[in-house]
Amino acid sequence: MANELYSLTIHELHELLKNKKVSSQEIVNAVYGRIETVEKSVQAYLTLIKERALEKAREVDDHLVNAGILTPLTGIPLGLKDNLCTRGVKTTCASKILENYLPPYDATVVNKLEHAGAVILGKLNMDEFAMGSSCENSGFFPTRNPWNIETVPGGSSGGSAAAVAAGEAIATLGSDTGGSIRQPASFCGVVGMKPTYGRVSRYGLVAFASSLDQIGPLTQDVTDCAIMLNAICGYDPYDSTSINQPAPDYTKSLSGKLDEIKTVGVIQELLGDGIAPEIKKAVEDAVKVFEKLGAKIKMVSLPSFEYALACYYLIATAEASSNLARFDGVKFGHRSANSPDLLSMYYNTRREGFGPEVKRRIMLGTYALSAGYYDAYYLKAQKIRTLIKRDFDAAFHEVDLLISPTSPTVAFKIGEKSGDPLSMYLSDIATIPINLAGIPAISLPCGFAQGLPIGLQLIGNVLEEEKILKAAFAYEQATAWHQEKAKI
C-alpha cells in the first residue's frame, strides 16, 4: 500500500490517517520515493527539504497518537511554487538574481498550511518571476509534462501542476497572474483554481503584477481544491488588498447537484477562431453534461475580449517594471562583482541576473509608463480593463456561471513556441480576462486530444467560489476524466 500512497487524494489520505491505518511519515516517504523515481524526467522541483519534512511528519504522528486531533491537511505532503517566501528555505522565483535568497519570514499562505498541519516537501519550478506560459523561462531548467515529457507543462506554475500530475506532491500552491494556475492545470490534467482577487493573502508572494497576482491550489480533484481553499482563504491585515470578509467552508458546496445554478453561459468569443477543433468539441461535450444536470445553456458575448491580451501585456509589464526595480544588487539577491561605480553595478546585476523574458517585460513596462506614453498605453489599458469588468458584470446578470476552454490548445512541444513570444502569449487568451476583472475561475479536466489533457474553465462572479466548486464537482461526478492518471 505504501508505494501507492502518493497517488491518493488529500481526502482519501485524511481518512487513512484519521483511522490510523497509515502514518504521515509513511505518506511523506512514499511521495519522496516517487520523487526519486520520476523527478529526473519531470524536473518539477528546485529545492527539496526532506529532513525538515520528515521531522514535521514525525511531529504530526506523535500529535495524532497523543491527541487524535487532525485537520483535513494534517500530515499531508504539499509542494510550493518558488515565489512563495519560506523562512530559511531558498526562494528563487526560478531566477539567477535570487539564486541563494533565504527569506526571513513565511508567506501568510505558508503559515496557514503549516498551522493546519501540512508537511512542506519543497519548492517548485516556474517561469522566472512567473513570466511565461510553458515553464521554459526558468533560470535553471525547464519542467516537463508528465503526460508526455517532450511537451511543456504550461506556466508559470508548471512545476506545481507537473508535481501533482506525476504524484510528486499530493497537492500544491501556485500563483495566477494571467492564467498561471489554470493553464498548467489544463495541460497537466489536474484541477487548478484562481480565487477572487483579495480572497487569499498575497503577503509573502514575490510580486509580478500586484493588481493581478493571486495564489491558488492545484489538486487531483475538486474536493481537494475545496479543502486547500478552506486552509488558505481569509482576511490578512498584512495585505492591504485582502478582503475583510469571512470565507465559508467550501467543502459544504460539494453536493453533486447544481441546485441554484440555473443558467450557464458559454462565451462565444472563446469558441471561435484560434481554438483548436478538438478543444472546441470537448467543451461542447462538457456543455451537454451541464444540460443533462439540469442547467439552461445560453450563448454569451463579451465583446471587449478582443482587447484583453493587449490590455494585459501593458498593465502586467508596467507593474512588473515597478515591482522588479527592487532587484538592484543592493538589498538582497545577486550583486555583480567588479563594477566600477553604482550605475554599472545596477546594470550588470540585472544583465547577469534576469533572463530574456523578464528583461523583455521590464522594457515593455518601462516604455508604457514613460513620459509621453503613459496616457496612450497604460491609462488606455486601464480603461479597457474597466470595459472587460463591465462585460462580465453584464453577463452575470443573465447567467449564473460562464464556461470556456482553459487553453486554445493542448500542451505543445518544448521549444515549439520559445522563439515566438506572441504565439506563446496567445496561450493565455482564455484566462487573462478573468485576472483583469479580479473574479474567480477553475480549470478541470474535460477530455483528451493527441493523448494530452484538455481543460474546461468555469468562471464565477466576485466571491462566488462556492458556486464554481458546486458546478465543478457536479461535472466531475458525472464524468471520469479526473480519474485518468499520467503514465510516467
Q: Is residue 72 domain-resident?
A: yes
Q: What does 369-381 look like in DSSP terms, one character per residue? A: HSTTTIIIIIIHH
pTM for the model stands at 0.96
Predicted local confidence at residue 3, as pLDDT: 52
Name the residue among 199, 284, 209, 281 with its Cα closest to residue 245. Answer: 199
Cell numbers given for 395: 453577463
CATH classification at residue 88: 3.90.1300.10
Q: Is residue 204 domain-resident?
A: yes
Q: Is residue 269 domain-resident?
A: no
Predicted local confidence at residue 2, as pLDDT: 52
Cell numbers given for 352: 547577469
Q: Is residue 182 domain-resident?
A: yes
Q: Is residue 383 domain-resident?
A: no
Q: Is residue 333 domain-resident?
A: no
Q: Write down the number of H helices and E strands in the chain.
A: 15, 11
| pLDDT averaged over 10-residue windows placed end to end, the chain, 488 residues | 83 95 97 98 98 96 77 97 98 97 97 97 98 97 98 97 98 98 98 98 98 98 98 98 96 94 96 93 98 97 95 97 94 90 94 96 94 90 97 98 98 92 89 98 98 98 98 98 94
Predicted local confidence at residue 65, as pLDDT: 60
Q: Is residue 430 domain-resident?
A: yes
Q: Is residue 375 domain-resident?
A: no
Distances (CA, A) of 303 to 274, 376, 390, 433: 16, 21, 11, 11
Total number of domains in the chain = 1
Q: Which residues form the catalytic set? A: 81, 156, 180
Question: Structural domain of residue 230, as residue ranges?
Answer: 2-264+400-483
Predicted local confidence at residue 66, as pLDDT: 65
